[in-house]
Amino acid sequence: MKEYFICIKCGKVKYRSKSRHYKLDESQNSGMTMNTEKIAQEIIDAADFSRIAHIHHSRKLTGRVRFHDKKTPYIVHPIWCAMTILTETTLQESVRLNGYLALMWHDVLEDTSISLPTFADDAVKELVNSMTFSSFEEETMRLWEKSPIVRLLKLYDKTSNLLDASHLSKEKWSRYTDFTKRLIEDVHNNYGDLNIVKIAQSITVSRKSE
């Protein structure tokens, strides 16, 4: 089935296959099997929407690039997060498939002037909304009220940010890593020894004296 829509970039009427809905069920395995071709195309569509959102609809011109070097395309960040969760073969497929879409679009509401795509499922929209906060301070206080899967997705976000956080002062680095360490423990308790847990643990180390 195809869904017709107005392209936010060129204004032309286009179409795409409707996104598959992956029911979130953290209590048991859904038994679904990935449709490789469909998922591959969905990755391309999701990344393209994120690219358009952050390049053409960013609230700030600087929002098109990563802060640390002012030249790396911002899209690198959500793509890294989304692709990393897809490598987590010990996670239920429903968590991986809804999770990678939420991660691909997790900064759209916060950093751009457009809404989530019309072809996004309600489960994915709910995850993105739950990941959106007005400030880091609000996030550090309210994230623990959210569901385990939201905290899981936030660990991918924070770990990616730490990978290019050389610009942070010692104080900000300490605050950020302290928060991330809490996330690591929480995710490990809920989901086990995931790849993202190992990556985050290797990054969240104290800086050497400068």
Higher local confidence (pLDDT), 126 or 210: 126
Which pair of structure tokens corresponds to residue 49?
A: 């929407």
Cα gap 137→30, rounded to integer Å: 36
Contact 125, 116 (CB under 8 A): yes
pLDDT, averaged across the chain? 84
The structural domains of the chain, ordered by start, are: 36-203 (1.10.3210.10)
Which pair of structure tokens corresponds to residue 157?
A: 């976000």
Backbone phi, psi, residue 7, to 5°: -65, 125
Instruction: Please state whether the predicted TM-score (pTM) of the whole model is above 0.85.
Output: no
Cα gap 98→60, rounded to integer Å: 28
Whether pLDDT at 91 is above 50: yes
pLDDT tens per residue, range 39-75: 999 999 999 999 999 988 888 766 677 666 767 889 9
Higher local confidence (pLDDT), 35 or 126: 126
Model pLDDT, residue 50? 93
Backbone phi, psi, residue 6, to 5°: -95, 125
In this prediction, residues 130-158 reach a mean pLDDT of: 97
Closest Cα to residue 149, out of 12, 6, 23, 15?
Answer: 23
CA torsion through residues 115, 113, 43, 77, sign: negative
Cα gap 67→65, rounded to integer Å: 6
Which pair of structure tokens corresponds to residue 170?
A: 């010692």
